[in-house]
């Protein structure tokens, strides 16, 4: 790889503002993580779109495959207790 000078691909995640999670915004090429972070700042936050950036080498991401989707995500469909609407709350309780 270093022989041809090709730079690896990094995935970029930006936290839009405090209180939000980092969200995937795209990718870019950089020789290493240090430069990837700087390139990401210049590319994905030119208009103050973020307060924090993560860069991750694309190669280290393990993704679920679409065929596995049912076994991966359907079980969570049962776990309604994870969702706030599962709980009945007396009417006079505010700010939950």
Partner 1 sequence: MTEAGSGAATAAGASRHAGRVDPLVVLGLADDALVYAQRLGEWLTRAPEIEEDMALGNIGLDLLGQARGLLTRVGELDGTGRDEDALAFWRDEREFRNVQLVERPRGDFAHEMARLLWFSAHRLERLRQEQQSPDEVVAGVAGKAVKEVAYHRDHATQWVLRLGDGTEESRARMQQALVDVAPYLPELTEDDPVGAPVAREYVEAVLAEAGLGAPPEPRWHARGGRTGIHSEAMGFLLAEMQHLHRTHPGASW
Partner 2 sequence: MDGSQVGPLNAAETEDYAQVVEEHFGGLIDADQRIEPRDAMPAAYRDTLVRQMAQHAHSEIIGMQPEGNWITRAPSLRRKAILMAKVQDEAGHGLYLYSAAETLGVDRSELLAKLHAGKQKYSSIFNYPTLTWADVGAIGWLVDGAAIMNQVPLCRCSYGPYARAMVRICKEESFHQRQGFEILWTLARGTEAQREMAQDAVDRWWWPSLMMFGPPDTGENVNGAATQSHTKQSMAWGIKRFANDDLRQKFVDMTVPQAEKLGLTLPDPDLRWSEERGHWDFGEIDWEEFWRVLGGDGPCNAQRLAHRRQAHEEGAWVREAAAAYAAKHAARGQGAA
Summarize as ranges the residues that interact with partner 2 (CB under 8 A): 1-7, 9, 25-29, 31-32, 35, 43, 46-47, 63, 65-66
Beta bridge partners of 28: 10
Residues from 3 through 62 that contact partner 1 (CB under 8 A): 7, 28-31, 34-35, 38-39, 42-43, 46
Environment class of 48 (CB within 10 Å of its CB; exposed 0-12, middle 13-18, buried 19+): exposed
Q: Report the distance separating Cα 11 and Cα 33, nearest Å.
A: 11
Given partner 2, partner 1, none, residue 23, with its beta carbon under 5 to 8 Å by kind, binds none
Closer to partner 2 by Cβ: residue 73 or 89:
73
Strand partners, 53: 14
């Amino acid at each position: 790889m270093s022989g041809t000078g090709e730079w690896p691909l990094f995935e970029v995640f930006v936290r839009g503002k405090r209180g939000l999670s980092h969200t995937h915004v795209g990718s870019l090429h950089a020789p290493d993580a240090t430069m990837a972070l700087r390139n990401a700042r210049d590319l994905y936050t030119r208009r103050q779109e973020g307060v924090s950036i993560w860069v991750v080498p694309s190669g280290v991401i393990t993704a679920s495959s679409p065929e596995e989707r049912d076994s991966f995500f359907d079980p969570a469909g049962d776990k309604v207790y994870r969702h706030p609407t599962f709980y009945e709350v007396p009417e006079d309780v505010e700010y939950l």
